[in-house]
Structure 1
């Protein structure tokens, strides 16, 4: 079950033990009969990466994190993205993925983000083949263009995308000027749809982060994640596992 307010102190105590104990990569299962501390994560569906049946490389990445500390269990449930976010807001989840750190300070969101990122996710600008929009032109003056994306972390005003397929189809039909999305997710849909009148270009790299609750509960969770992510990064294991989810920009065009 999700961590209640009374469990924050217990989680912090577990964090101290985690920090002074063996590396999570080398940790062996405990012989204690005490039940593990539980973190509930709601993951938003991203076909191919996070599937509703609980499969996909992003789900496997979270299972990898779960394996690093025998004293903490991460319970994974996959929902449509809006329901996954609501889990954090309503208090039924302790963590949520996927999420990208905003490029500017955002204070009006009903949730927070983990202090540590576990990797950079490449974002691609998709434009129409007959009306290409150079990335540098868009960055210099985005106002004349209708771009669909996720508004909260984009560095300029965009229209909200209601789904990868919808935005790619709208772009192919010439109804919008561009679409910005994470490379792997959007590329999979682009190939599936067989659209050949769309061009790709590297837009930017954003930090992949966890969504966490605001307040003391979120602070305790953030401290735990910081310790875990830092030690895995220092060992080299974090980059190796994250590469299975997101990779640097791949330069190719639909044909």
Structure 2
């Protein structure tokens, strides 16, 4: 959950907005990954944003938590109105995936390519190398990648030369890189992916999509609440361990 101060700020903004949008309140069922229950990391900021969507338009958002893959299946099977967050897959159509994406890009995530400083590779020809990524994100790439569950293990594997590169969220992997202090690892931006909510396939989530679009527009239009978006997206910054 967000801190008490942040939650009070979110709710006070929501009550202000709901006074302007009190008619035709609706109820939505959110299926969220149980990682959002982590109160110390960014998932709690995502959860605060979901609550804010409800408050801004005076809607009820009933939240239930599931393991990540099960949460996505709840949308595919139409047992919930939306899941959030999910990176938009550039290689598969909505029909292949079994769900639609929200019209609004909620935030973005920077995937960073980690390589060895003493063994540079061509970022434009990654299919020629042995590349790994997080095991849950292998379908984001149109070339062969190895799935590795542990960021710590992946960076150590890269440092030892058993793989040529590792691609994953910079916000996650950078923390581990600093902890391990692997000074022979070079980092560079690979790609910035859009992050959406996902909805039942075939337009069945249109009402939910409209709700998210309107709520996001209200947040974006209020300079006072720029921090809501800033807290869930950190632009890529170029740096290297020395």
- TM-score (normalizing by structure 2): 0.74
The runs of 5 or more residues in structure 2 that have no matched partner are 1-13
Name 2:29's counterpart in structure 1.
Answer: 39
- How well do the aligned residues superpose, as a CA RMSD in angstroms? 3.3
Q: Pick closer, same or farther for the CA change 1:205–1:60 going to 2, 3 Å.
A: same
Counterparts of 1:38 and 1:171, CA distance in 2: 44
* 3-state secondary structure, aligned to 1:39: strand
Counterparts of 2:25 and 2:16, CA distance in 1: 20
Q: Name whichever structure is richer in helix by fraction.
A: 2
Compare 206-215 and 225-234 and name the one that shifted more: 225-234
Counterparts of 1:231 and 1:206, CA distance in 2: 23
The runs of 5 or more residues in structure 1 that have no matched partner are 1-22
Are residues 1:190 and 2:190 paired? no
Are residues 1:132 and 2:120 paired? yes
> Of 22, 28, 52, which aligns to 2:19?
28
Q: Pick closer, same or farther for the CA change 1:31–1:89 going to 2, 3 Å.
A: closer
* Residues 199-253 of structure 1, C-alpha deviations (whole Å, 9 max, x = no match): 2111221211112221343233223222222333233467531211221112222
Q: Is the 8 A contact 2:25 2:58 kept in 1?
A: no
- TM-score (normalizing by structure 1): 0.71
Counterparts of 1:81 and 1:163, CA distance in 2: 17
Name 1:93's counterpart in structure 2.
Answer: 80
Q: Name whichever structure is richer in strand by fraction.
A: 2
Q: Map of 1:1-255 to 2, 5 A cutoff? A: 26-28=17-19, 37-43=27-33, 45=35, 50-52=36-38, 56-75=44-63, 77=65, 79-106=66-93, 107-133=95-121, 137-139=122-124, 141-149=125-133, 150-154=137-141, 156-236=143-223, 239-255=226-242
